[in-house]
Amino acid sequence: MHADRPPPMVLSMPPTSPSGGSFASLWRLKTYVRPYRWQMLLMFAVALGGTLVGVAVPLLTKAVVDGPLRHGERGELWQLGLYALLFGLAEAVLILARRLTLATTALGIEKDLRDQLYAHLQRLDVGFHDSWQSGQLVARMTSDISAIRRFLGFALIFLVVNSVTFAVVGVLLIVIHPLLGGLVVVLSLPLSYVIFKYERVYRRQIRAVQDQQGEVATDVEESALGIRAVKAFGRAGFLTERYLAKSRELRGLQLTQIKTLAEIWALIIAQPQAVLALVVLGGGAAVADGTLTLGTLIAFISLYLLLIWPIESMGWLLAASQEANTAAERVFEVLDARPRIRGSSHGHAAGQARVTERTRPDAADGAGDAEPRLVFEHVDFSYPVALDRSSGTPILTDVNLRLAAGETVALVGPTGCGKTTLTALVPRLYDVTGGRVLLDGTDVREMSLTGLRARVACAFEDPTLFSASVRENLVLGRPEASAAQVEEALRIAQAQFVHDLPWGLDTRVGEQGLSLSGGQRQRLALARAVLGRPPVLVLDDPLSALDVHTEGLVEQALRAVLAETTGLVVAHRASTVLLADRVALLGPHPSGGHTVTALGTHHELLTAEPAYRDLLSQSSDLVEEGV
Amino acid sequence: MTVLDTDTASPAAEPQAGDIPLDDWRGVAAEKADEISAGGGLFLRARSRRLLGSLLRPHRRALAWASCLIIVVTGAEMAGPYLVSVGIDSGIPAIRRGDWAPVGAAVSGILVTALAGSLLRLRFLKLAGRIGQDVVYDLRGRVFRQFQRLPIAFHERYTSGRVISRLTNDLDALGELVNASLDGLINAILNVAVIGVVLAVLDPGLSLFLLICLPALFLLLRWYTRGSRVAYRRTRETIAALIVHFVETLNGIRAVHAFRREPRNDAIFHELSADYKRANADAMRLMAWLMPGIKAIGAVMTAAVLIFGGFQVMDHALEVGVLTAYLLYLRRFFDPLQDLAMFYNSYQSATAALEKLSGVLEEEAGVPEPRQPVQLPRPVRGELRFEAVRFAYPRREQQSADGAAHPEKIVLPELDLTIPAGQTVALVGATGAGKSTLARLMCRFYDPDAGVARLDGIDLRDLGDGDLRSAVVMVTQENFLFTGTVADNIRFGRPDATDAQVEQAARAIGAHQFIAALPDGYATDVKKRGGRLSAGQRQLVAFARAFLADPAVLVLDEATSSLDVPSERLVQRALRTILAERTALIIAHRLSTVEIADRVLVMEGGRVVEDGAPAQLLGAATGRFVDMHSAWVDSLA
Ligand SMILES: Nc1ncnc2c1ncn2[C@@H]1O[C@H](COP(=O)(O)OP(=O)(O)O)[C@@H](O)[C@H]1O
Ligand SMILES: Nc1ncnc2c1ncn2[C@@H]1O[C@H](COP(=O)(O)OP(=O)(O)O)[C@@H](O)[C@H]1O
Ligand SMILES: [Mg+2]
């Protein structure tokens, strides 16, 4: 649908900022590695040990040939043979030790990182999630973190081991023959330079690939979640085309990346061979001159051959490092996003104390003089700035509303006027941009988030169920709820149908609750909200999907609940409005946005407010015209 | 190995501290979502091998060409050391004689092989990369199309998270196999084969040891294969579970926040990611034993050859040179075996992924396209008929965990219904009565278990998807908006519509006003799942999209539930004109809809219990509709 549109980009940080040095993001992983530092050290040591032992076995062969075989000593042969066996087994044991450590270490780091990413994402505000496609986040949670694991488990170890090998052998070569050795070392410099240049290109390419993978995953998710719409309009072909176009783009990006990698690789494997040719030429000349003995030349060359694998493997090691680096960059982009909505740490206790003393039901009509429970005070709101360029367009302007304890206020207004938005401010799904929301006299921003949300229960206009058991969906926020409480909530919401499900409360509700009918879903969501009788109930159009009969039953039960709690109820229909003691009508504010334009009982507003009458009056012209 | 056995046998999930036992949260469902088709492991493997075969077949020539390239490259690489020895052995004496030619030849030989090897490898890498990407792209398309083809019922139990997992992680596993491993595989096979022959030729006697160590290798490999197959299968399943939970959390983030779900979600996620870690750790541990296992067999072999060969040398039955060479080659025989093991590891991982993917691909589409679609006569009249339709939502097994059988719940026991062309029918009844189900059958989201649903006399099962979808369009309760602009989303109903037509459709149902007020008007990005719009606005867009599609039959399922009364009225006024020459089925709880209907059906428990013109039903003294209507009128007060 928007293949040519740039992906919705990162909002809380500058879009593409390859921060700092080329491996800055990898370096930041150190905090995650620290708990495993001994295991990592062990792996380094064992890997080095393995390399050394690997060298020892050929030396033993040489010892056998030069020793026992020459002298014909059988006993010694046994002994050396045994050594060879022991060294070989030792090498095997070292590999085993490294790989076993690897299994716990790398996977441990991977799990820690993944758990933390998830925990962090859960705590990022709704505004963040509005603008991040979950496909992008899934890609970060899976393939990016796996790339980091592969790096820490293999690439990093061998980068170090190979560098050590390179340094040691390099020094040895210089010691053996300063000129040739120096030549070998100097000739590795241009290679390093070229690789360095290539790596920068490679890094950009790999980042593009990873981002595109996220895009593709996003498409996949949409196609699965929107399958009904797709089927209803027969647009599978269109979606497939869109998906394939993105996949082709991904394929193209990956091919570019593979090409770069192949070029780096080709350079890297050609270089040692070329140097080898030089060594043979120069060394041969030196031997011929007599400045070098043949034995030394052979030793030099055999040593140099030891270097070839470390050099050649640099290609994929660096590639893996770059991949892990950009992957880490992507993961940190998320981890660096700070939740813009955070609880205050000290407000918690105060808030709690107030609840306990106030949950006693006040007289339902005590609206007038009692200290109000929920207050909107000069509330302004506009959706977060980076979300889209329209931001700044005010949605709510100077909203003032006071709800006494036990009072229920209905929010009425035309579609899109900001009713849902206003309700979202109470549990702080968004924060006001101006003014404040007070709960029991405390600014909600000064309370702890859990404290606040424990006191405010919501039913959203879309029921948001999870693929878990019915019970799990009900007790979402109150795992401690008793069976009796659950039963009561089900009764209030007229959701006893759950007992007829094949496994009663243990039946799994399908993804998004789609295995239930719309009205059933809505009643579950309502039951969830009223469970445990929260002090403040926020209901967003809670009865829209119910038939008239069920609606009547729910209203009856709900009325009893609302008598005791403070309620904010978004309503489109007169019947729902009647649940409330008073009605707040939302209408346009002179300076943009919407605000409360009228406040009163249903009947007061019906008579006094033409706008309200238009919105709610049953005298739809259709009825008047007759059937 | 004993260590490992106890490890793999560790209990799958330790109960964790928490308010509710963690493993309960999932609840019971009739089907195990992940097991698509039943069948033994053997069957699964054969199926995934078949899939791999069908993916690689089109690339036979490219693969052959790539193999040739890598053979030459390997040859060039093997020639290097030989040329060095030539340079030293015959070059240096020649220099001493003042003849630089042999050294020159050797050196240029080295340079040429280096250059050729490097260039050919470049070619090879690009080629192998392209093959890998093409294979993945091919499979991507196949799996995606299949997911789109599979019926709603499938998606209901499979969940979107699992779809994502299949199309990302599982594909990646295959990509890794094809991309990175061809190189190593051919290299290793070549080395093992060539060196094996060299060894046998060098000394047949010593090579008997090889024959002895082969069974050991074989046993080791078999042990690994068995274990890793199980482990990798589990990695696929656990990562899918992880993604499912992850995606659900993100999509339900408002509820997560509002209901302080975070700690419990954390606990669940920790458990799931621990499962994934365990599965991965098992696979890695198997690998941790396999690699050194091969090394150890190699070490035993080397020591045996050293000692036994040494004795032979002492007995003058063997040349020292041959023994040295033999030992050197022996090492080069076992090293590539390690590479082979690496390849085998990727192969096992990819096979597990392919098992899942081939499962999806071979899943029978439950609501299949007809083999020989019947042409829908044009113009479409829009007459709908249900003949003795019985329907229950599909369940895989009727067995629960405790073994008790649960009868499937029949939603529509037996439905006979004819809706003549052009009629506007209001369908009313309590929630859960089966109204949406009826609507879904009409759109062929499901097929009836018995009986027939017909459009213009043709069984829906005989209609091609294109025909059906252009004739029948439904606006659901769950109107889904896709990422893109408002116009894109309206145009979803008819891709070739002009901007003017899009606007016209929006005007017709009263959506133009709010759209025009959006910052970019019709070009405003609606954001993830239409989050930029309010629920009512989303419904209006969904409505506009259906009108633009201009179907002969329009099914509206609670399509105005989130609208305020004036907007709803506007929509209804529009409906009056729009539905004049169309067949329409309108499900709504607000009986105001009834006023534009020619006929009312009252449903209860999956049956039509009252049927008639609104006036006729209202005229009756008692009756369900009369009750409903009076209740509704009361509710307006
Ligand atoms: N996430 C968002 N980002 C930007 N604008 C939004 C977002 N959600 C809603 N809006 C806009 O804010 C306005 C109020 O929306 P909402 O509160 O959902 O309305 P309603 O009164 O129907 O519940 C609408 O015009 C909508 O377009
Ligand atoms: N996708 C589904 N899978 C299983 N059961 C379902 C599914 N959708 C609905 N049901 C069940 O079928 C019955 C009828 O649902 P539905 O047709 O949606 O009712 P209505 O539209 O009349 O409110 C309900 O009991 C509901 O729980
Ligand atoms: Mg709303």
What does the pLDDT average to over B516-537? 88
For residues B113 and B92, give the distance between their C-alpha atoms in angstroms, rounded to a whole number. 21
Whether residue B213 is contained in a domain is answered as yes
Chain B contact set for A265 (CB, 8 A) = 121-122, 125
Task: Tell me if chain B has a CB within 8 Å of the CB of A216.
Answer: yes
- Give the ligand 2 atom nearest the CA of B433: 22
Q: Can you say whether residue B432 is alpha, beta or left, with left for phi > 0 and alpha for psi between -120 and 50 degrees?
A: left
pLDDT in tens, B119-163: 998 999 899 889 989 999 999 999 999 999 998 888 888 888 899
pLDDT in tens, B559-577: 888 888 888 888 888 888 8
* Three-class secondary structure of residue B357 per DSSP: helix
CB contact under 8 A, A545 and B470: no
Looking at residue A616, which CATH number applies to its domain?
3.40.50.300
pLDDT in tens, B295-314: 899 888 888 888 888 888 88
And the tokens for A367?
A: 């609206």
Q: Which residue has the higher pLDDT, B396 or A521?
A: A521
Chain B contact set for A216 (CB, 8 A) = 167-168
Last residue of a domain, one of A293, A317, A335: A335
Placement of tokens 């009458």 in the chain: A613
Last residue of a domain, one of A335, A353, A378: A335
Disruptive mutation site among A212, A227, A303 for chain B (greatest number of B CBs within 10 Å): A227
Closest to A560 (Cα-Cα) out of A613, A465, A482, A493: A493
DSSP A499: G
pLDDT in tens, A234-287: 888 889 999 999 999 999 999 999 999 899 888 888 888 888 888 888 888 888
Task: Tell me if chain A has a CB within 8 Å of the CB of B88.
Answer: yes
Closest to B481 (Cα-Cα) out of B511, B447, B501: B511
* Three-class secondary structure of residue A599 per DSSP: strand
CB contact under 8 A, A480 and B140: no
pLDDT in tens, A495-509: 988 998 888 888 888
What does the pLDDT average to over B227-248? 92
Question: What confidence score (pLDDT) does residue B75 get?
Answer: 82
Task: Establish whether residue B478 lines the binding site of ligand 2, counting it when its CB lies within 6 angstroms of any ligand atom.
Answer: no
Query: What share of chain A has pLDDT > 70, as a percent?
Result: 89
Query: Residue A211: what residue type?
Result: D
Chain A contact set for B96 (CB, 8 A) = 288
And the tokens for A212?
A: 């595109």
pLDDT in tens, A613-624: 888 875 544 444
Looking at residue A234, which CATH number applies to its domain?
1.20.1560.10
User: Based on the number of CB atoms within 10 Å of its own CB, is B199 exposed (0-12), middle (13-18) or buried (19 or more)?
Assistant: buried
DSSP sequence for A398-435:
EEEEEEETT-EEEEE--TTSSHHHHHHHTTTSS--SEE
Task: Tell me if chain A has a CB within 8 Å of the CB of B10.
Answer: no
Whether residue A101 is contained in a domain is answered as yes
What does the pLDDT average to over B528-535? 87
- To the nearest 10 degrees (0 to 180), the angle between helices A156-176 and A294-336 is 150
Lowest mean pLDDT among A34-43, A479-488, A552-561, B178-187: B178-187
Looking at residue B619, which CATH number applies to its domain?
3.40.50.300
Question: In this model, does residue B2 exceed pLDDT 50?
Answer: no
DSSP sequence for B13-64:
----SSSS-GGGTT-B-SS-TT--S---HHHHHHHHHHHHHHHHGGGHHHHH
Task: Tell me if chain A has a CB within 8 Å of the CB of B125.
Answer: yes
Residues B345 and B415 in one domain: no
Q: For residue B444, which phi and psi values (nearest 5 degrees)?
A: 55, 45
* Three-class secondary structure of residue B455 per DSSP: strand
A 10 A CB-CB count for A349 gives 10
What is the chain A residue with the closest CA to B19?
A479
Chain A contact set for B518 (CB, 8 A) = 390
Residues 6+ apart with CB under 8 A from B288: A95, A96, A99, A100, A102, A103
CB contact under 8 A, A82 and B303: yes
Query: What share of chain A has pLDDT > 90, as a percent?
Result: 36
Residues A250 and A305 in one domain: yes
Question: In this model, does residue A598 exceed pLDDT 50?
Answer: yes
Whether residue B369 is contained in a domain is answered as no
Residues 6+ apart with CB under 8 A from B46: none
What does the pLDDT average to over A143-155? 91
* Separation of CA A212 and ligand 1 centre (Å): 29
On whether the CB atoms of residues B600 and B614 are closer than 8 A, the answer is: yes
Closest to A421 (Cα-Cα) out of A373, A462, A382: A382
* Average pLDDT score over chain A: 83
For residues B109 and B80, give the distance between their C-alpha atoms in angstroms, rounded to a whole number. 8
And the tokens for A311?
A: 């050099």
Looking at residue B310, which CATH number applies to its domain?
1.20.1560.10
Residues A258 and A376 in one domain: no
On whether the CB atoms of residues B582 and B501 are closer than 8 A, the answer is: no
Count of structural domains, chain B:
2
For residues B291 and B342, give the distance between their C-alpha atoms in angstroms, rounded to a whole number. 8
- ipTM value of the model? 0.89
Residues B335 and B472 in one domain: no
For residues A425 and B160, give the distance between their C-alpha atoms in angstroms, rounded to a whole number. 30
Whether residue B367 is contained in a domain is answered as no
Count of structural domains, chain A:
2
Residues A395 and A273 in one domain: no
On whether the CB atoms of residues A221 and B481 are closer than 8 A, the answer is: no
Question: What confidence score (pLDDT) does residue B398 get?
Answer: 38
Whether residue B557 is contained in a domain is answered as yes
CB contact under 8 A, B400 and A503: yes
Q: For residue B259, which phi and psi values (nearest 5 degrees)?
A: -105, 20
Counting Cα atoms < 13 Å in the Cβ hemisphere of B303 gives 17
On whether the CB atoms of residues B168 and B381 are closer than 8 A, the answer is: no
Question: What confidence score (pLDDT) does residue A271 get?
Answer: 87
For residues B399 and B148, give the distance between their C-alpha atoms in angstroms, rounded to a whole number. 29
Ligand nearest to C-alpha B520: 1
Question: In this model, does residue B36 exceed pLDDT 90?
Answer: no
Whether residue B159 is contained in a domain is answered as yes
Question: In this model, does residue B489 exceed pLDDT 90?
Answer: yes
For residues B508 and B506, give the distance between their C-alpha atoms in angstroms, rounded to a whole number. 5
Residues A270 and A373 in one domain: no
CB contact under 8 A, A618 and B636: yes
Report residue A61 CA to chain centroid gap. Answer: 55
Element (H, E) at B110: helix B101-149
Whether residue B402 is contained in a domain is answered as no
Residues B124 and B227 in one domain: yes
Residues B485 and B340 in one domain: no
What does the pLDDT average to over A326-338? 93
Question: Which stretch, A62-76, A323-337, A533-547, has highest mean pLDDT?
Answer: A323-337
For residues A269 and B119, give the distance between their C-alpha atoms in angstroms, rounded to a whole number. 10
DSSP sequence for B520-560:
TGGG-B--GGGTTS-HHHHHHHHHHHHHHH--SEEEEESTT
Residues B156 and B9 in one domain: yes
Residues A58 and A148 in one domain: yes
What does the pLDDT average to over A535-550? 88
Distances, alpha carbon A143 to alpha carbons A139, A327, A539, B172, B223, in Å: 6, 8, 39, 9, 29
**Beta-bridge mates of residue A376:** A401, A437
Is the bond leading into B379 cis (omega within 30 degrees of zero)?
yes
> Closest to B430 (Cβ–Cβ): which among A258, A288, A547?
A547
pLDDT in tens, B491-523: 988 888 999 999 999 998 889 999 998 888 999
Disruptive mutation site among A114, A134, A498, A585 for chain B (greatest number of B CBs within 10 Å): A134
Sequence-distant contacts of B179-184: CB under 8 A, at least 24 apart: B179/A258, B179/B128, B179/B129, B179/B132, B179/B133, B180/B346, B181/B342, B181/B343, B181/B346, B181/B347, B182/B63, B182/B66, B182/B70, B182/B128, B182/B131, B182/B132, B183/B70, B183/B124, B183/B125, B183/B128, B184/B339, B184/B340, B184/B342, B184/B343
* Residue ranges making up the domain that contains A112: 24-335
- To the nearest 10 degrees (0 to 180), the angle between helices A178-225 and B101-149 is 10
Ligand 2 mutation pick, B155, B415, B436, B475, max ligand atoms within 8 A of CB: B436
Question: What confidence score (pLDDT) does residue A480 get?
Answer: 85
Task: Tell me if chain A has a CB within 8 Å of the CB of B246.
Answer: yes
For residues A338 and A428, give the distance between their C-alpha atoms in angstroms, rounded to a whole number. 16
CB contact under 8 A, A420 and B569: no
A 10 A CB-CB count for B21 gives 10
Q: Which residue has the higher pLDDT, B365 or A528?
A: A528
Whether residue A457 is contained in a domain is answered as yes
**Beta-bridge mates of residue B475:** B556
Nearest CA to ligand 2 atom 18: A517
And the tokens for A357?
A: 């003393």
Dihedral of the CA atoms A82, A83, A85, A86 (nearest 10)?
120
For residues A182 and B330, give the distance between their C-alpha atoms in angstroms, rounded to a whole number. 34
Last residue of a domain, one of A299, A317, A335: A335
Chain A contact set for B239 (CB, 8 A) = 142
Whether residue B20 is contained in a domain is answered as yes
pLDDT in tens, B341-365: 888 888 899 989 999 999 899 887 7
The answer, as to whether pTM is greater than 0.80, is: yes
Question: What confidence score (pLDDT) does residue B439 get?
Answer: 92
Closest to B331 (Cα-Cα) out of A80, A306, A54, A52: A54
DSSP A154: I
Residues B582 and B470 in one domain: yes
pLDDT in tens, B63-97: 899 888 888 888 887 777 778 878 877 877 888 78
Confidence class of residue A477 from pLDDT cuts 50, 70 and 90? confident
Residues A221 and A276 in one domain: yes
Question: In this model, does residue A585 exceed pLDDT 90?
Answer: yes
Residues A325 and A223 in one domain: yes
Question: What confidence score (pLDDT) does residue A48 get?
Answer: 86
Whether residue A484 is contained in a domain is answered as no
Question: In this model, does residue A626 exceed pLDDT 60?
Answer: no
Question: What confidence score (pLDDT) does residue A528 get?
Answer: 92
Chain A contact set for B249 (CB, 8 A) = 118, 121-122
Question: What confidence score (pLDDT) does residue B147 get?
Answer: 93
Q: Can you say whether residue B39 is alpha, beta or left, with left for phi > 0 and alpha for psi between -120 and 50 degrees?
A: left
Query: What share of chain B has pLDDT > 90, as a percent?
Result: 31
Question: What confidence score (pLDDT) does residue B26 get?
Answer: 67
Residues A167 and A218 in one domain: yes
Task: Establish whether residue A550 lines the binding site of ligand 2, counting it when its CB lies within 6 angstroms of any ligand atom.
Answer: no
Confidence class of residue B395 from pLDDT cuts 50, 70 and 90? low
For residues B357 and B153, give the distance between their C-alpha atoms in angstroms, rounded to a whole number. 18
What is the chain A residue with the closest CA to B325?
A61
Residues A387 and A328 in one domain: no
Lowest mean pLDDT among A304-313, B242-251, B430-439: A304-313
* Residue ranges making up the domain that contains B600: 384-391+409-636
pLDDT in tens, B242-258: 999 999 999 999 999 99
Question: In this model, does residue A88 exceed pLDDT 90?
Answer: no
Query: What share of chain B has pLDDT > 70, as a percent?
Result: 90
On whether the CB atoms of residues B563 and B540 are closer than 8 A, the answer is: yes
Whether residue A352 is contained in a domain is answered as no
Question: What confidence score (pLDDT) does residue B485 get?
Answer: 92
Task: Tell me if chain B has a CB within 8 Å of the CB of A74.
Answer: yes
* Separation of CA B479 and ligand 3 centre (Å): 14
User: Based on the number of CB atoms within 10 Å of its own CB, is A33 exposed (0-12), middle (13-18) or buried (19 or more)?
Assistant: middle
For chain B, report the end-to-end CA distance as a whole number of angstroms: 78
Residues 6+ apart with CB under 8 A from A308: A272
Confidence class of residue B31 from pLDDT cuts 50, 70 and 90? very low
Residues A308 and A406 in one domain: no
Whether residue B398 is contained in a domain is answered as no
Question: What confidence score (pLDDT) does residue B16 get?
Answer: 35
Ligand nearest to C-alpha A520: 2
- To the nearest 10 degrees (0 to 180), the angle between helices B320-362 and B171-202 is 150
Task: Tell me if chain A has a CB within 8 Å of the CB of B403.
Answer: no
> How is the beta sheet containing B607-612 ordered, strand by strand?
B472-475, B553-557, B583-587, B424-429, B599-604, B607-612
Nearest CA to ligand 1 atom 24: A416
What does the pLDDT average to over B613-626? 83
